[in-house]
Amino acid sequence: MRIELSLAALLLPVLLFAQENVKIKGRIVNEQGEAVEYVQIGLPKRQIGTISTVDGRFEMDVPCDTLEFFHVSYQPASYVVTGPSDDVVIVLKEQELPPAVFIGGDTKEKYLLRPGTSLLKSMGIITTSLRSEHPSGREIGSVAQAKKPFLVKDILLTVRSNHIPGCVASINIYRIEGKKESFLNVLQKPIYFDVAVSNDPQNYDIRPEETLLLEPGKYFIAFQIVGCNSEALQAFLAKTQEEQEFWEMSMDFNIYLKSSYVREVALGEMKSLPVNIGVAVKGLEYQ
């Protein structure tokens, strides 16, 4: 069984062709004028989204509406699109971080989250492939339930194979609240890591730089591709569909039977999913 996630794939936006779109080009900087990397940009209600490059640049075809900008380390921002522009500058203000929380008491090592049951073993594969000119920001992951305060030490993930050169991925963690399931970011710093090109499975142990203490509750731990080698992507997209091999610019994961969510584009709507890509989380549980 193969589940192919190529609906504009991990790096691709959904465009609403029924709308009259305008082209917006710009860059995103902080208050010191420095580029802000991998900012999520979107029109959430329209399910349109993208991610800025490592140097903070972005380009989108969008209807006239309000673009929203989100980055873990900065306050959210917005920009009202009234027409085409090729020099939009978005300045993000630094996030005022709350003081670190320290709690005492005994702890024990524990897995907060395990992958679940592998589906069809080697035949069960989730495939992602790049099929559009514009990057977006699909997120897919797993759901964890913390019954006691939990200090995250390691986030574990196996990539079955990767054919995306220069691939940069991120881990996002959201607290899920309310009956309508609001997803609230809990990170203070981005968690980035490189995924090497390989035909063989690769095991990744991602360790957050910040002290990441999860209060009791429900969480979504999400994987997201935020960047790749632009020259390799453009060369791939320049090919006709007949010339494109199915494995090119793609990444594979084994399928696991456990609840998850998927977000097709940056800042879009989270949708429930009955399978996941095998994320695991371990650390210290406070007793």
pLDDT confidence of residue 137: 78
Domain boundary among 61, 92, 123: 92
Number of Cα atoms under 13 Å in the Cβ half of residue 205: 4
Q: Which residues lie closer than 8 Å to 74 by C-beta, 6 or more apart?
A: 30, 36, 92, 93, 94, 95
The helix/strand/coil state of 235 is helix
Statement to judge: residues 74 and 120 lie in one domain? no
Mean pLDDT of the chain: 87
In Å, what is the CA distance from 135 to each residue of 61, 106, 270?
12, 45, 18
The verdict on 260 and 151 lying in the same domain is yes
**Each residue's pLDDT tens digit, 207-228:** 999 999 999 999 999 999 999 9
53 and 115 assigned to the same domain:
no
In a domain? residue 100: no
19 has a pLDDT exceeding 80: no
Asked, for residue 99, whether it belongs to a domain, the answer is no
User: For position 33, which CATH number holds?
Assistant: 2.60.40.10
Q: Do 261 and 165 belong to one domain? A: yes
Q: Are residues 148 and 252 in the same domain?
A: yes
Asked if 121 and 222 sit in the same domain, the reply is: yes
Asked if residues 279 and 141 have their Cβ atoms less than 8 Å apart, the reply is yes
Checking if the pLDDT of 123 tops 60, the result is: no
- Say if 98 falls within a structural domain: no
192 CB burial (10 A radius; 0-12, 13-18, 19+) = middle
The residues near 3 (Cβ < 8 Å, ≥ 6 apart) are 125, 126, 127, 255, 275
Least reliable range by pLDDT among 5-9, 110-114, 144-148? 5-9
Q: Is residue 156 part of a domain?
A: yes
Among 138, 171, 262, 156, CA closest to 201 = 156
| Per-residue model confidence as pLDDT tens digits over 75-93 | 999 999 999 999 999 999 9
Instruction: Supply the pLDDT for residue 120.
Output: 65
- Total structural domains within the chain: 2
Of 237, 249, 36, 269, nearest to 134 by C-alpha is 237
Its domain, for residue 211, covers: 105-286
